[in-house]
Amino acid sequence: MKFGYEAKTAFNNMRGGEAEKHYFFEDIKRWIRFIDDWSERIRAANRKLMSTQKVFTEVLRFLKDDALKTIKDPEGGEFTASDFTWVLTVPKSLTDFRKQFIIESAVQAGLVTDATKDKLMFVLESEAALTWCLKLQPDGFITQNHSRDSQDQPAGAAEPDTSWNGTEWICNVWQTNINRF
């Protein structure tokens, strides 16, 4: 029905009997680390169980549908899932079984088909974070050696050091971006 904060708000606003008719899942991404077989079930906040495969499928379906609604074809047509290569970020600890689990969920969600599984890519979260950080303009980020006040200098003032100087800076920038979403 809903995703993200909208889902949490809607579920929290439901009365007891109404909430029992629904499923509310939190921290779905962490569940991928615990999947060991196709029959796994995940427990919702109201203690109800659902197939983990169904939960992952519906999350991917929601994200796909939302992306297709958001992205507009400049020529006025509509895009379909097959028009894109889908990139999913995954933890380093992803096993082959869990990767196959996600691929099957993506097929069921309509991101890809059995024939177009090559249009689904996995990227390690750390690599995605690095790529994102290197792509961003350094303006507005607080570096290790500067305070927030040093970022608000008047025009013509010395620019803060925004050069990349190691993993700690990347992690700090990545954490800043995570908190924005």
- Judged on CB neighbours under 10 Å (0-12, 13-18, 19+), 173 is buried
Which pLDDT score, from 0 to 100, does residue 82 have? 92
pLDDT digits (tens, 9 = 90+) for 15-39: 878 888 888 888 777 777 777 777 7
Kindly report, residue by residue over 143-166, the tens digit of the pLDDT.
555 555 544 444 444 444 444 333
Cα gap 3→67, rounded to integer Å = 13
pLDDT of amino acid 4:
79
How does strand 86-90 pair with strand 120-124? Answer: parallel
Please tell me which residue, 35 or 167, carries the higher pLDDT value. 35
Per-residue confidence (pLDDT) for residue 172, from 0 to 100: 37
Q: Has residue 176 got a pLDDT over 50?
A: no
User: How far is it, in rounded angstroms, from Cα 100 to Cα 97?
Assistant: 5
* Count of other CB atoms within 10 angstroms of residue 58: 19
Average pLDDT of the segment spanning 42-53: 85
Segment 117-139 shows an average pLDDT of: 85
- More reliable by pLDDT, 10 or 1: 10
pLDDT at residue number 22: 85
Residue 139 predicted with pLDDT over 80: no
